[in-house]
Homo-oligomer: A and B are copies of this chain.
Amino acid sequence: MIAEQTLTEHYFRVRLHSEAICRGLETEDYVVQPVVDVSPPKWHLGHTTWFWETFVLKPNAPGYRIFHEDFSYVFNSYYETVGKRVLRTDRGNLSRPTVAGVYAYRAYVDEQMGRFLDTADLSPDLHALILLGLNHEQQHQELLITDIKYILGHNPLLPAIEMPFLEHQPQRSGNSVFIPEGIYTVGFQPTDGQTDGVFYFDNEVGAHKVYLNNATLAGKLVTNGEYRAFIEAGGYRNFRYWLSDGWAWVNANSVQAPLYWHQVDGAWWYYTFDGLKPVDPDAPLCHVSQYEADAYARWKGQRLPTEFEWEVAASTVNPALNWGARWEWTNSAYLPYPGFQTAEGAVGEYNGKFMSGQMVLRGASVATPDGHSRTTYRNFFQPDKRWQYTGIRLVTEA
């Protein structure tokens, strides 16, 4: 049981981490949106703040006055319930509110939140909502990092910037993990309600039984060097390795290598937060789509794990998987667990409505905030997405 005191500390620590990620940015870097998947850093900072204002302070803090009506409008991502204004703008066109304005918004809301957390007698529901808000902000922290990387990595100056983690450190050793055929229990099982401080999302809750067949998960992730062999073997030019949708994606986008890789005079380089660097053959591969992961596995005569094979290998079996460097693509579609229920209200839009057309990733990455990973966590993206820190772990039957 975490005391209220601790929750305030937790709140400030999370909030400060969002700003720490942005410490190296120029004002201009906060504003642009090169593609629709990427949000301007300014927007992440504002949107996470809007969450606290809208769902915690406004309905619960007596006498709370919202910072500015326009901010509520601009930083609301739940468009379905709003849409009242005339002007339809994209996030990347919004020069106003300014970055300074967004930081002022954060400061105002943080001060109010501090006061509120210090004095309020939080109901279990409100406590749970605050945990949700913290986890929501942590999710945006990883997106902040990957969106900043996209913005700078698509700027012809390829600028370096300081970030509080190492992207391409060597892999920890790991033994392969064998899963014997049988019934396993997967999914998050809350023991004492959510107020004990252990957080979970609605999409992972509901321990349930699954039947798994014999399978062996590789102890290490696929490395850059291993993947380069696939490129050099013509992997991107041979339709036989690809899912039909994947092959269409390769051709429509002229894909020839992972995101951020550039071939210069025959050698492979990649953009990192330290600038353009030679690809390290021993580091785990990063920034591949599920299509690429699947094609690579097929080229190797292996396959990707299912999300339940991964979860069992990471939790039940001993010794378990070493994980955490890359989000690991599975070949499981993102679908509801037995008994899944959508929560009421705007918060209910959180996860359930995305359960179509996306694939599950398991684990965590070097960009995932501390305390925001667990073996039941279900991350999800469309199979063509690759600006996250995504990698590949192979499986062999039996």
Contact = CB atoms under 8 A, between A and B. Distances in A.
Interface of A: 26-34, 42, 70, 73-74, 80, 85-87, 89-90, 92-99, 151-152, 154-159, 183, 208-211, 213, 239, 242-247, 262, 290-291, 294, 298, 303, 331-333, 335-336, 338-339, 342, 353-357, 383, 397
Given A95-B151, A209-B213, 10 more contacts: A26-B95, A26-B96, A28-B31, A28-B42, A28-B95, A31-B31, A70-B156, A87-B154, A96-B152, A210-B210
26 contacts: A27-B99, A28-B30, A30-B95, A31-B32, A32-B94, A70-B156, A87-B154, A92-B92, A93-B151, A93-B154, A94-B155, A94-B156, A96-B152, A96-B157, A213-B338, A243-B354, A244-B353, A244-B354, A245-B357, A246-B356, A247-B353, A291-B356, A332-B335, A333-B335, A338-B397, A357-B357
A383 B185 CA distance: 30
Q: How many copies does the complex hold?
A: 4
A158 B95 CA distance: 11
Contact of A331 (B26, B94, B239, B336): B336
Contacts of A27: 27-28, 98-99
Contact of A156 (B32, B34, B74, B357): B74
A154 B89 contact: yes
Given A332-B335, A353-B242, A159 B34 contact: no
A93 B150 CA distance: 10
A101 to B, nearest CB: 9
Nearest to A97: B157
Given A73-B156, A211-B183, A338-B213, A32 B357 contact: no
A243 B340 CA distance: 14
Nearest to A337: B213
A27 B99 CA distance: 9
A159 B94 CA distance: 11
Closest 8 pairs (CB-CB, A-B): A333-B333, A34-B93, A28-B95, A29-B95, A243-B356, A80-B239, A244-B353, A209-B211
The winner among A26, A90, A246, A357 for most chain B CB atoms within 10 A is: A357
Contacts of A31: 28, 31-32, 95
A397 B383 CA distance: 30
A89 B211 contact: no
B397 A87 contact: no
A99 B26 CA distance: 10
B70 A157 contact: yes
